[in-house]
Amino acid sequence: MTARPLGITILAILEALVAIVFMIAGSGALAVGGLMGVVGLGGFASLLSYGTGGVLIAIGVLSLVAAWGLWSGLRWAWYVSLALAVLSILIGILLLPGSLLWLTIEAVIVYYLTRPHVKAFFRST
């Protein structure tokens, strides 16, 4: 097996941290949705909060699994991480200009994941 590139180690750790943030944010959105229902502000706003929370938690779980796969050098993790980065770029484009830094970071991730030595690492497992 090829040695894990330092960049993949860094990406795996960052992906895990991002996953934790998504899951915390999702849990907060779920709590807000529940609170809205308790104080009588349910309805669409509460439903939207629950939906947002569920999506954030799902993305967090997917990111956590991707982080583990990157760390382990599993081929599917390369595809999942690349897809998450491209999706993030597309969402970032919709949110310009506030997300310019985020777009730059995701573009660097896409560039790095497509380097020959990184792709070779994932082919060797």
Residues in the chain: 125
- Sequence-separated (6 or more) residues with CB below 8 Å from residue 47: 33
Can you give the pLDDT at residue 103?
Answer: 81
- What is the predicted pLDDT for the residue at 39? 62
**pLDDT of the residue at 125:** 63
Q: Which residue has the tokens 């497509």?
A: 114
pLDDT of the residue at 50: 82
10-residue block means of pLDDT along the chain (125 residues)?
Answer: 88 93 90 72 72 90 95 94 87 73 86 93 81
| Domain extents in the chain | 6-123
